[in-house]
Structure 1
């Protein structure tokens, strides 16, 4: 499977689907992006059961802004619609392969439980802050 160009319109349906989606935020003028591109493309050909998407940050500035992309390349990994990895920097082929295997091995029930616990903790902190008396 070749990589897919993602846009503001196609991004949500692509990453929210079941399975693993890797997204490369890149730009033509970026040297490290050009170095990482062939590595990403080869991985897409080796792992045909995974969706590999690319976001051109020049053409999709609103999408890059939405994800607060400040350094490229930035690689994101989504599994079953959940963002499980986000890191700037080009990876070598062995590092990308390790990342793919890690995404495959994730226990998504455990990931969802951790996310629910974090959300509950944040909500409890927010409720506690709201109940504190206002200071002048």
Structure 2
């Protein structure tokens, strides 16, 4: 599942995320956030060739349990997971290369 343009209608439960198998990127943000909008082309470009990486786009906000469980403070926040465990994190990525570097950590994590 490559890049997802839309936020999920309902965020997954933390227990479900912890049980994910393989590589995944959780993206926390909102559709109206200017930082999130600016980062979308970067995220899409980095994820496009990564067909085996799940991209889970979660709309975040006050009181949203998944974002709070990951202690998300700023948007967008990308949490890179391997088998449900956090391997890397980027907050407000500014370059495709930063995202690609975090993605490469998914490949070496076990």
As a proportion of its length, which structure holds more helix? 1
- SS of equivalent to 2:48: helix
Partner residue of 1:33 out of 33, 36, 40: 36
TM-score (norm 1): 0.65
1:111-122 aligned within 5 A = none
**CA 38–14 in structure 1, closer or farther in 2 if over 3 Å, else same:** farther
TM-score (norm 2): 0.78
Aligned equivalents of 1:74, 1:50: Cα separation in 2: 17
Tell me, which stretches of 5 or more residues in structure 2 are unaligned? none
**CA 52–9 in structure 1, closer or farther in 2 if over 3 Å, else same:** closer
Partner residue of 2:76 out of 52, 58, 73: 73
Give the conservation status (yes or no) of the 8 Å contact 1:33–1:90. no
Structure number with greater CO (CA < 8 Å, separation at least 6) is: 2
Q: Give the deviation of 1:32 after TM superposition.
A: 1.6
Q: Alignment length, in residue pairs?
A: 107
Give the conservation status (yes or no) of the 8 Å contact 1:20–1:103. yes
Larger radius of gyration: 1
